[in-house]
Structure 1
Amino acid sequence: MGSIFYMERNGQKYAYESTSVRVPGRKNPKTIKTYLGRVDPETGKIIPKESRSRPKEEYAKHYGSVRFLDGIQKDMGIFEDLDEVFTTLAPNIMGAAMALAINPTSMDSIHYTVENTVIRETMKLRGTLSPSTMGTVCEDVGGMMMSMVSETEMRLENTKHRDPELTYRKLPPFVRRYLDYTVDDDGYMHIERKQNAFTFADNRAGMFVMLASSGTTFDQMMTSYDVRDWVEKAFDVYKNELEGDRNNTGNPERARGRLFIKFIALMMRIRIQNVLRDHDRDVLRTKAKKDSVNGMSVSELLLSLNTVFAIGNTGDWRLTHISKNIREIFSVFGLEQMESGQIVLG
């Protein structure tokens, strides 16, 4: 995320946003300065710049839910902690967690939520968190987490990397029969196959018989077998989840990264749930007049917030009408109220 700074000319204060962008081949990042607008001398708020001509193409993106979740995470200090630990990965982690909090779905579908909301503009993302990007992000996050946990454990225990020989001896005998280990210069243990043992086991393996109709060729038979295998796997995906939102992955680091991002999304939703529950209790205890927030679930609240749109294009955005229900939601959570009209995204 960029930082906002101010410059004064002829007695008028102007606001700019400074964003650092890494350039391949250069040691130091490049700083991009973007003009945001002038500063109101009385309120201190930024008055967004007005474009001389409205762009031909305008976009309508969900704004209310993102603005709300951004306020929630700031109160909890989530992004501040992520930025301190994961640095450049922090915006992607926070953006993905916000997308999951708004629309709990699979990691491969997050980019749809990012495209339909102002998450990209709010978190200063360089893309829409495509499936390939999320795969890389989750893998990097999981790897960093395991490295930090391992280093912390050894520092607390005042030990070095685990004794490889002792670790190997703890493996079951039938596993040690086929696996061996090596240790690199950094003291890390690597498990390797015993090729001779695997070859011997393969030679002793049996076979299975496939019965086919008369005249069926080998290629036709194997194709039919493959199709059956695909159908069985597809059924395995869809039998429990109608949309097939599975988290299976063969990479343990990527799995840890996914769980970490989902945990952050869960933290925000639990925070919202707790505030809603306390608000309902306070109204019942004090017998105060009920408002539109009473009885709301987390999902219902976020859907209600999605009625506020940001319409426009780069550098020229405006908010739609802010209803009474939206104002009451922000009031219950102690967040700064939104105002319809021109806004600055970011």
Structure 2
Amino acid sequence: SKVLELEKKVEEPELCGNIEELQGFLSDAVKGWDKIFEIIERDGQFRIKRKEKAINAQLEKMGTMILLSNKRLEGKEVLRLYKRKDVVEKFFDNMKHDIERKRLRIHTQETFEGRLFLDFLALIIYSKISSEIRKEGINKDFTVQEIMYEFKKIKLIRLGMKKMIVTEVSKKQRELFQSFKIPLPTRP
């Protein structure tokens, strides 16, 4: 197992003699290593010791999931699609709760349908951004939520009956538009 491999690796002289080297190795090898191991010193050598209770607690949380499909897909693709479905379900759940919170402001069926339509468009945009990030490898520094938040800051303001202006586009927003190959918003 990976735990046994790690325990064997940290016994190598270059690691067990230097605590900084050992911590660096563990950080690179295992995310959250400090939750399942502790570093102990014995006879001037550094070793790792398992945190049995923490490991058992993590093992109790593990489980098995079976996904069946009528299509022939690789395991990674099935998992990606499942996660994407989960994102959509969470989006609709949040949207439903948002509508329930704002229920008092919705006086007609037409207003409700309009809000639902706008939320559906937002979901399409969210899905497209997520797809582009994955496909093109762009904007790995931002989550989809952070990108949506940046785009939400851009507003179209109506001044009087005829004049409309777009709020100023920040440098970060400009970079996002460029990376998605979307022209900058201008006044209509």
TM-score interval, normalised by the smaller of the two chains? 0.3 to 0.5
Instruction: State the structure with more CA Rg.
Output: 1
Structure 1 length normalisation: TM-score? 0.22
Q: Which is bigger in relative contact order (C-alpha 8 A, separation at least 6)? A: 1
Structure 2 length normalisation: TM-score? 0.37
